[in-house]
């Protein structure tokens, strides 16, 4: 249906006559349990990733480690 060459593409009449389109009432409308579970897992992972990226986006190197002068000061204090 999505051939790059326009001369090889199906016409709209051919597409509508295709069994995938013409036999839509024969399609089972029930969802497979494993498909539903996979979608739930995928959605949970997507939300977790978005939350982690949001949190990570707000963290700077200075907030994680302090400034360079703080580290140097701390190091000098420990070695003295």
Mean pLDDT of 32-50: 94
Q: Assess if residue 1 is contained within a domain.
A: no
- Has residue 64 got a pLDDT over 80? no
Alpha carbon distance 10, 26 (integer Å): 23
The pTM is what?
A: 0.44
Q: Assess if residue 60 is contained within a domain.
A: yes
- Has residue 19 got a pLDDT over 60? yes
Q: Assess if residue 47 is contained within a domain.
A: yes
Q: Assess if residue 29 is contained within a domain.
A: yes
Which residues span the domain enclosing 16?
6-79
When pLDDT is cut at 50, 70 and 90, the band that residue 71 belongs to is low
Alpha carbon distance 72, 65 (integer Å): 11
Q: Assess if residue 69 is contained within a domain.
A: yes
Work out how many domains the chain is built from and give that number: 1
């Amino acid at each position: 249906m999505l051939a790059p060459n326009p001369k090889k593409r199906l016409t709209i009449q051919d597409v509508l006559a295709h069994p995938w389109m013409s036999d839509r009432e024969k399609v089972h409308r029930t969802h497979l349990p494993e498909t539903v579970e996979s979608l739930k897992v995928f959605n949970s992972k997507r939300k977790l990733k978005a939350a982690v990226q949001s949190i990570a986006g707000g963290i700077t190197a200075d907030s994680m480690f302090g400034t360079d002068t703080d580290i140097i000061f701390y190091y000098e204090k420990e070695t003295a």
